[in-house]
Amino acid sequence: MTTMAEGKKTITKATLNKSFWRWWYGNLTCFSHEHMQTFGYMWSMLPIIQELYSTKEEQAEKLRTYYPFFNTEPQIGSIVVGITAGLEEARANGATDIDDEMINGIRAGLMGPLAGIGDSLIVGTYIPVLLGIALGFSTGGSVAGILFYIVVWNATSIWFQKWIYGKGYSLGGNAVEVIVGDKATALRESVIILGQVIVGAMAACWVNITTSVKLTESYDAATGTTTPVMLQDKLDGAFPGILTMLFVLLCWWLMAKKKVSPIKVMLIMIIVAFVGVLIGFFDPGLSY
């Protein structure tokens, strides 16, 4: 049973604003392939943690919640920061059902779908439309197009992010009923599954691994020519894309089961590719 101390701790509007502005200008803080937006997220959550928890020990413990990998489309992703701000407030007031696992489950479950939505609607649609209008204003070398894009993009982007951050905070404040309940749990699990589907679709679209191994040669008596019999053709006939699937599963196994960092996994893939080219398993098609 969830318990909450009435009116014990509330995040002030000034702290929420400070958290939002940190996310707005600092979501790519210390960006790397291993962590991406993790440190920007922690930087944004720091004022929240400092206001809700009085001791340095408590603050350090709660801030570790936000250390796991995070990356999404930053404009629409501000809602996730708002949600976790509300969840952190509820946890500080005694909501026993809100723990690190729940918060990170929501973060991980939302970042993939929101990235897909944000990239398609904002990066793939809204920004090109603004740029098209700005180019029209720039005819003849006018600076009107530049000013139009700078003003309109920043004004609409800041307004949208601020509004969606606030909506996320409101949802997070009611997380006990909205997220922990039976219906919300089913929705949360559905969001997580959707994120997994998106990741799988990205792997299928962007990753393509083939082998150049030649098994034998087929002789055509009529033409007197020989045709190589390639391992890749046999694999495609039995299970198209099996090498890609195996490499993706290997990366998942290393990171999820063996806790190998993404950078080390990338180094392993580089070594595998290098050795594979040397022994003839891969053919990059390069000539020297």
pLDDT tens by residue, 167-214 = 888 876 454 455 445 665 665 566 556 656 766 776 777 688 999 888
Q: Are residues 17 and 117 in the same domain?
A: yes
Candidate from 30-39, 120-129, 233-242 with smallest mean pLDDT:
120-129
Return d(Cα 118, Cα 157) in angstroms, integer: 12
In a domain, 77, yes or no: yes
Same domain? For 217 and 198 the reply is no
Condensed to tens digits (0 to 9), the pLDDT of residues 141-161 reads: 888 888 999 999 999 999 999
Q: Could you tell me which residues come within 8 angstroms of residue 223 by beta carbon, excluding any fewer than 6 positions away?
A: none
The last residue of a domain, from among 149, 175, 202:
202
pLDDT at res. 5? 45
**What is the per-residue pLDDT for 202?**
64
Number of folded domains that form the chain:
2
In the chain, the percentage of residues whose pLDDT exceeds 90 is 16
- Enumerate residues 6+ apart whose C-beta is below 8 A from 28: 37, 40, 74
How many residues does the structure list for the chain?
Answer: 288
Same domain, yes or no, for 197 and 270? no
Residue 231 and residue 56: Cα distance in Å, rounded? 60
pLDDT averaged over every residue in the chain: 81
Q: What is the band of 80 on the pLDDT scale with cuts at 50, 70, 90?
A: confident
Last residue of a domain, one of 174, 202, 230: 202
Given 153, 179, 202, the domain boundary residue is 202
Choose between 68 and 221: higher pLDDT: 68
Q: Are residues 197 and 218 in the same domain?
A: no
Q: Report yes or no on 283 lying in a domain.
A: no
Q: What percent of the chain stands above pLDDT 70?
A: 85
Q: Domain range holding 229?
A: 209-278
Look at residue 129 in the predicted model and tell me its pLDDT: 80
227-264: per-residue pLDDT in tens?
888 888 888 888 988 999 999 899 889 988 888 988 89
Q: Is residue 2 situated within a structural domain?
A: no
pLDDT at 33: 80
> 9 pLDDT band (50/70/90 cuts)?
confident
The larger pLDDT score, comparing residue 283 to residue 272, is at 272
Average pLDDT estimate for 262-288: 86
Handedness of CA 157, 163, 165, 168 (dihedral sign): negative
Is the model more confident about 215 or about 199?
A: 215
pLDDT at 92: 82
CA dist 104 → 78, 206, 244, 288 (Å): 15, 26, 29, 48
Domain-located, residue 288? no
In a domain, 285, yes or no: no
Three-state DSSP class for residue 219? strand
191 lies in the same domain as 222: no
Q: What is the pLDDT of residue 187?
A: 59
Alpha helices in 138-282 (DSSP H): 144-173, 175-178, 182-206, 231-238, 242-252, 262-278
